[in-house]
Each structure stands twice: as structure tokens, then as C-alpha cells.
Amino acid sequence: MVGIVASRMKEATNRPSIVIGLDDGIGKGSGRSVSGIDLGSAVQRAAIDGLLVKGGGHKMAAGLTVEEGKLEEAMAAISEALARQGAAELGPKDLTLDGVLMPAGATVDLVGAIEAAGPFGAGAPAPRFAFPSVRIQSARQVGEGHLRVTATDGHSRIDGIAFGAFDTDLGRFVCERQGMTAHLAGRLDLNTWNGRTTVQLRLEDAAEG
């Protein structure tokens, strides 16, 4: 769970994030970083200096165990190490788009062609598309706080999901825009249900449109 939260925080802030859960005086944490900032080396340095019970990882992710009494000192040392790499100068960034699509253009064949061009990862993310001025037909919660959205341009529709986003600014915005138009943005993947495969938008952002 702490790894999922750390990843969400990293995405929201565009900065390295560490989330720690405390139990009986011992904290176990997980961290996620952004491109250009080596989180693993900062955590390893803190472990070598005796501030952590143990810790390690690589540039983009790390794990650690820390005594509650050393938590503040350890986090200060890791923060200082990350700041020297430029993490303190980072912050939320504009969403980068790779193209514009209408719902009818989001086809299974298109997603197949995109996947064939992969693999994608932190250094080479999958393309992100904008769907401009689509009307939000429905927006609701599914599962444990996930946001399910259906939007249309009047001719075709696109279904989307944003995991863990129902009770966030994005979720509230989309729900309030039901029946109105909005710009949606995210990456495409395939969803197979009851033997039927359709295109799904992994919704990342939305704006008035």
C-alpha cells in the first residue's frame, strides 16, 4: 500500500516521494522517484550512515526500514541528498500530449499498433492523447475509489477509468461536469470483458472545454 501511495504522490508533485507506515516503533517505507533523480543512492547513503535499519533500491524506486526515533533525522538526510540532485527545484509540470483523437479514432487496431511500437516505461512513456470537447455522459465510483467515465462527441463514445481518483480533484471535476463538455487526456489500453475487447482511456487529467 505505501508503494502505491508514494507513486501517486510522485505523479501529483513531480518530485521523489517516500511513504512510511509505523508499527511498534518501526517504520517501513517505499519510495518512488522521477527521471533524473537517483532515489536509491540517497536511501543507501542513509543506511550506510546508520540512520536506517536497512534501505536500498535503484534510481526510480527504493525501500527502507527505520526506527521511529531516527525518522526525522533520516528523512532530513535523504531530502538533503535529493536536493543536491535538483529535486527541490522540481514541481508539478504541464501535461505533455502526443496527439488529439476523437472517440471514433480510438480503435483496437490503433492500440495494437501503439503496443507494437513499445515496450514503454519510465524513460519512454506510452503516448498520451487528448479528447477535446467531449460531453461527459456518466461519471461514477467503481471498486475501491476508482472513477469510471463515459464521454461522447455526439457520434461515438469513449469509456475511461482513473484508478483511485474518485475522491480527488480530478474525480470531483469530472463528476460535476456530467452533461457538459470537457477536454479529457490520458493513455489508451484494451479492456476485455465477457469475451469482448474495447478501448479504454486511462484518464489522467481533464479541463473545461
Instruction: Tell me the CATH number at 19.
Output: 3.10.310.30
Does 200 map to a domain?
A: yes
Q: Do 134 and 185 fall within a single domain?
A: yes
Q: Do 76 and 113 fall within a single domain?
A: no
> Where among 89, 110, 125 does a domain terminate?
89
pLDDT of residue 93: 64
pLDDT of residue 92: 65
pLDDT (tens digit per residue) in 3-45: 888 887 887 788 899 999 999 999 999 999 988 899 999 999 9
pLDDT (tens digit per residue) in 123-182: 677 899 999 999 999 999 999 889 999 999 999 999 999 988 899 889 999 999 999 999
Q: Do 145 and 190 fall within a single domain?
A: yes
Distance, in Å, from the CA atom of 96 to the CA atom of 116, rounded to the nearest integer, reads: 22
Q: Do 147 and 83 fall within a single domain?
A: no
Q: Do 139 and 83 fall within a single domain?
A: no
Count of domains for the chain = 2
Give the residue numbers spanning the domain of 147: 99-208
Distance, in Å, from the CA atom of 113 to the CA atom of 199, rounded to the nearest integer, reads: 13
Q: Do 83 and 103 fall within a single domain?
A: no
Integer CA distances (angstroms), 133 to 136, 177, 184, 199, 209, in order:
9, 12, 8, 19, 5
Q: Do 203 and 147 fall within a single domain?
A: yes
Q: Do 68 and 37 fall within a single domain?
A: yes
pLDDT (tens digit per residue) in 67-86: 999 999 999 999 999 999 98
Does 149 map to a domain?
A: yes
pLDDT (tens digit per residue) in 96-135: 889 999 999 999 999 999 988 878 775 677 899 999 999 9
Torsion of CA 57, 61, 63, 69, to 10 degrees: 110
**All residues at 6 or more sequence positions from 88 whose CB lies less than 8 Å from its CB, including other chains:** 82
> Where among 66, 89, 112 does a domain terminate?
89
Integer CA distances (angstroms), 158 to 51, 113, 190, 208, in order:
50, 18, 12, 17
Q: Do 77 and 133 fall within a single domain?
A: no
> Where among 89, 121, 139 does a domain terminate?
89
Q: Can you read off the three cell numbers belonging to residue 65?
A: 526500514
Evaluated on CA atoms 88, 3, 198, 200, the torsion sign reads: negative
pLDDT value at 88 more than 90: no
pLDDT of residue 191: 87
Instruction: Tell me the CATH number at 196.
Output: 2.40.50.140
Q: Do 112 and 202 fall within a single domain?
A: yes
Q: Is the pTM value of this prediction over 0.85?
A: no
- Other C-beta atoms closer than 10 Å to the C-beta of 152 total 16
Does 94 map to a domain?
A: no
pLDDT of residue 41: 95
pLDDT of residue 169: 85
Interstrand relation of 146-152 and 129-142 (parallel, antiparallel or unpaired):
antiparallel
pLDDT value at 58 more than 90: yes
Q: Do 116 and 184 fall within a single domain?
A: yes
44 phi and psi, to 5 degrees? -60, -40
pLDDT of residue 188: 95
- Residue 195 CB-density burial (10 A; 0-12 exposed, 13-18 middle, 19+ buried): exposed
Q: Do 85 and 105 fall within a single domain?
A: no
Contact yes or no for 6/30 (Cβ under 8 A) = yes
C-alpha angle 23-29-123 in degrees, rounded to nearest 5: 165
pLDDT of residue 42: 96
